[in-house]
A and B are shown apart, each in its own frame.
Chain A
């Protein structure tokens, strides 16, 4: 397969020079300095590396960069628009849904993807939808509350 030379990231075309089998995570972090997505396990088990591909949450640590070529990649860095946070980011702040914060970008990206599929998820739908993301500090109840709060805010607008 050919070297990947261009990625569509956060609304901008970015030049890269990446062998196709490299992980999307390593290209984002090491080549493009988009370090919001984190390495947590390298096997798609923890969700710290979650980004959106055409709006769909993927584990970028097990996604070859070739699979992202030609698609719209959205990372945590793009959620804030013109100084305004995404409602889910606001909700994380409001509910104090973090301790060390290392899982937070991946959690938020998974939550954004969940809310785009299901704008008003029940608690069990949130638990099910977020089951692939690990918060080792154990702030799960607060993250569930944050997703609910963001859903309610979107619903009320």
Chain B
């Protein structure tokens, strides 16, 4: 069955019941860092919901589960509107042959975009069930009720399956379907545990890297010694004579497949390849390089006149901030299993963009997308790092060459070298304020890091925000929050610097310039919980705060830091977060806590080091990520706004920690750190 299926055929394939299609209208253009086939065409159908003749409820969506727990939260949304028990909802996700096209799981779009569509589908299905019951029992629709998976009217009662049996009903939902307000939610809004959590604590869940197919070979790729290297000479005569070994080559791509990892490793060593490399920029010269290669850029938010704003200021300040390249380092490195059956290709891979990967495969092999099936098992994390299909293409090439299924598991070193990175960047800010703290001018220039989260909630009459794209020495792409971390770091550090110059409390400085009530609410909430202003100032101990908004969510973070022997340690972090109506409070807390922990890495130690096209620290012993001992006391406060639509929450909680910590380090030491990772 294919996603471009004739809708009537859909029911024949599933054997009857009722089905509701979600018509999504136009697909939003989203920030993905990738453009390619399969990305751009608007698709009419975004999801569907089927209630079988046995009453089984299945939701089909192209979204992927990478640890953010949308398999749980989307099922909650459906159960809520269908008035069915949570456990009765089955989520069929991210399989390009059976789920409708989806652009990808990124940009915090699942909760604000996919969840409302599924809720509408469930509400429509509920209406259909009521209609069937009313007709069958010859009663008025208004007298039919649904609760907890049972349909009732007077003495009549039926399970879903008793009504869907023998039906072949298809409906496409209308835009104006009424949904249950968050204030009345009974299943959504609850802390329902992760679906299938038992499979994860027992080791039963099969990630892509755990899969096996009959006769499967293990693949290894011959990697060049540096980025942009071109293959000059190649000799595989020794390798291809090893038993069971297949060598595949296509341009600069050279790889081997063998019945086990060890033989594959031996075969790879037996290939001789010479590469032509070219000189490339190194990390020492990175920021000068990004400035030198910057474009004029486009102004994103311009108001008034910077010159006038600066002329009105009593205090002016110009500073430069930088952020390093960092790696997502998902604990499950890229992996794929590929299998050709005739001219049909099936690939299992951990990706946030199954349909995008299908497009990449179609392009790589010159075959129609209909001949390719991409299946994404629930994946060992991504954080924006798994938009692309490298491992899928590599495994498919080897599978084609060998005529057998092939698995590719990237090593950590490959993941830290050949994946893409969060962009590095330079941010220059010139700002001015009056003596009383009123901001008058804001001139903000971001080079290469990206525009996400550069917008401000400060009321500043004269402002200009410009993103200047540049030539990046390393390959870059999406990352949790993307540039919002860089832009929040620069902005919230700069505001803190101005506050100190003006001898105004950093909290007061912000409150003076912000009228947006959602922004003020999280700021005041975090400050109260933290006990802002009540701390005893002591040598080597500092307190910092930061705030911001991005992707529909508002955040404020306070940090307490100690500095001993030149080493900062984060002792406590308090974060208030508001993303509209909360769908699953415990999972939201889990995301906020996890984002704070991940943010510690970028704030204090993560940084790709590189020279002349080579990564110098491609191992976990060289690239330090946060561990147990780095974690402060974390307190989260959820500001639940049941009157507002739910926004995504996997990304924005990451943006506040670095500036809060930098500001705290300044208070503790008098040293202002303007480069991430922050080092004294």
Q: Which residues of A contact B (CB under 8 A)?
A: 19, 22, 26, 29-30, 33-43, 45-46, 48, 75-77, 79-80, 85, 89, 92-93, 96, 98-105, 108, 126-128, 130-131, 133-144
Residue pair A35, B203 in contact (C-beta under 8 Å):
yes
Which residues in chain B, 42-83, are within 8 Å of chain A measured between CB atoms?
Answer: 66-69
Chain B residues within an 8 Å CB radius of A139 = 590, 593-594, 597
Task: Check A38–B380 contact: CB distance below 8 A.
Answer: yes
Given A22-B262, A43-B619, A128-B629, CB of A80 within 8 Å of CB of B202? yes
Would B412 and A100 count as touching, CB distance under 8 A?
Answer: no
Q: How far is it, in angstroms, between the C-alpha of A89 and the C-alpha of B200 when the chains are bound? A: 9
Q: Cβ of B143 < 8 Å from any Cβ of A?
A: no
Question: How long is the Cα–Cα vector from A84 to B329 in the complex, in angstroms?
Answer: 34
Tell me whether A40 and B203 are in contact in the complex, defined as CB-CB below 8 angstroms, given that A100-B67, A138-B593 are known contacts. Answer: no
A89 neighbours in B (Cβ, 8 Å): 201-202
Check if B91 is an interface residue, CB within 8 A of chain A.
Answer: no
**Which 6 pairs show the lowest CB-CB distances between chains A and B?**
A36-B203, A138-B597, A100-B67, A102-B380, A101-B200, A138-B594
- 19 A–B contact pairs at CB < 8 A? A34-B203, A35-B206, A75-B203, A76-B203, A89-B202, A92-B197, A96-B197, A96-B587, A98-B67, A100-B66, A100-B379, A100-B380, A101-B67, A101-B378, A134-B625, A137-B67, A137-B598, A140-B626, A141-B631
Q: Which residue of B203, B218, B412, B586 has the most chain A CB atoms within 10 A of its CB atom? A: B203
Asked if A136 and B412 sit within 8 Å, CB to CB, the answer is no
List, in ascending order, chain A residues with CB within 8 A of B332's CB: 38, 40, 100, 102
When C-beta atoms are compared, the residue in chain A nearest to B409 turns out to be A39
B193 on the interface (CB 8 Å rule)? Answer: yes
Report A146 CB to chain B, min CB distance, Å.
10
Chain B contact-residue range equals 35 or more
Main secondary structure of the interface of B (DSSP, over half): loop
- A85, B202: Cβ atoms closer than 8 Å: yes
CA distance A37 to B204 in the complex (A): 10
Complex CA–CA separation, A37 to B625 (angstroms): 21
Chain A's closest residue to B216 (CB) is A30
Residues of B within 8 A of A77 (CB): 202-204
> How far, in whole Å, are A34 and B207 apart by their CA atoms in the complex?
13
**A136 CB contact (under 8 Å) in B200, B201, B329:** B329
Any A CB within 8 A of the CB of B403: no
User: Does B634 touch A at the CB level, under 8 Å?
Assistant: yes
In the complex, what residues of A have CB within 8 A of residue B590's CB?
96, 99, 139, 142
Contact of B193 among A79, A96, A133, A138 (CB under 8 A): A96
Q: Which residue of A lies closest to B259 (CB)?
A: A30
Q: Is the CB of B203 within 8 A of A43?
A: no
The answer to whether residues A45 and B69 also contact, given A96-B586, A105-B203 and a CB cut-off of 8 A, is no
B666 to chain A, nearest CB (A): 25
Let me know if B66 and A144 touch, CB within 8 A: no
Q: Once the chains bind, are B331 and A138 in contact (CB under 8 Å)?
A: no
* B331 and A48 within 8 A (CB): yes
The reply on B260 being an interface residue by CB < 8 A is: yes
Contacts of B207 in A (CB 8 A): 38, 102
A37 / chain B contacts, CB cutoff of 8 Å: 203
For the complex with contacts A22-B262, A131-B629, 14 further pairs of A-B residues with Cβ separation under 8 Å are A19-B262, A38-B332, A40-B331, A41-B620, A75-B203, A100-B330, A101-B67, A101-B197, A101-B205, A102-B380, A134-B625, A137-B67, A137-B331, A141-B634
Which residues of A lie under 8 Å from residue B626 when comparing CB positions?
138, 140
Within 8 A of A (CB), among B583-641: 586-587, 590-591, 593-598, 619-621, 625-629, 631, 634
Tell me the smallest distance from the CB of B211 to a CB of chain A, in Å: 9
**Which A residues are CB-close (under 8 A) to B209?**
38-39
Contact A85 B210 (CB under 8 A): no
**Are the C-beta atoms of A93 and B412 separated by less than 8 Å?**
no
- Report yes or no: B331 in contact with A100, Cβ–Cβ below 8 A: yes
B519 interface hit (Cβ, 8 Å): no
Residue of B nearest to A21 (CB): B262
- A contact residues around B117 at 8 Å (CB): none
Q: Which residues of the partner chain A approach B262 to less than 8 Å between Cβ atoms?
A: 19, 22, 26
CB contacts (< 8 Å) of B512 on chain A: these are none
Q: Which of B333, B381, B383 has the most CB of A within 10 A?
A: B381
**Closest CB-CB distance, B588 to chain A, in whole Å?**
11
- Is B291's beta carbon under 8 Å from chain A? no
Whole-angstrom CA separation of A85 from B590 in the bound complex: 23
Docked complex Cα distance between A93 and B200 (Å)? 9
Q: Contact between A33 and B331 (Cβ–Cβ < 8 Å)? A: no
When the two chains form their complex, are residues A98 and B381 in contact, meaning their CB atoms are under 8 A apart?
no
Report the separation of the CA atoms of residues A70 and B205 in the bound assembly, to the nearest whole angstrom: 29
Mark contacts of B397-429 with chain A using CB atoms, 8 A cut-off: 1 yes-contact digit, 0 otherwise: 000000000000101110000000000000000
Q: Is A85 touching B331 in the complex (CB atoms < 8 A)?
A: no
Q: Cβ of A92: which chain B residues have Cβ within 8 Å of it?
A: 197, 201
Measured in the bound complex, the distance between the Cα atoms of B409 and A102 in whole Å is 15
Residues of A within 8 A of B634 (CB): 141
B593 in contact with A36 (CB, 8 Å): no
Which residues of the partner chain A approach B642 to less than 8 Å between Cβ atoms?
A: none
Shortest distance between the CB of B341 and any CB in chain A (Å):
23
Chain A residues whose CB sits within 8 angstroms of the CB of B591 once the complex forms: 99
| CB of B94 to closest CB in A, whole Å | 14
Kindly state the separation between the CA atoms of A98 and B598 in the bound complex, as whole angstroms. 14
For A85, what are the chain B residues with a Cβ–Cβ distance below 8 Å? 198, 201-202
A residues in contact with B198, CB < 8 Å: 85, 93
Contacts of A43 in B (CB 8 A): 412, 619-621
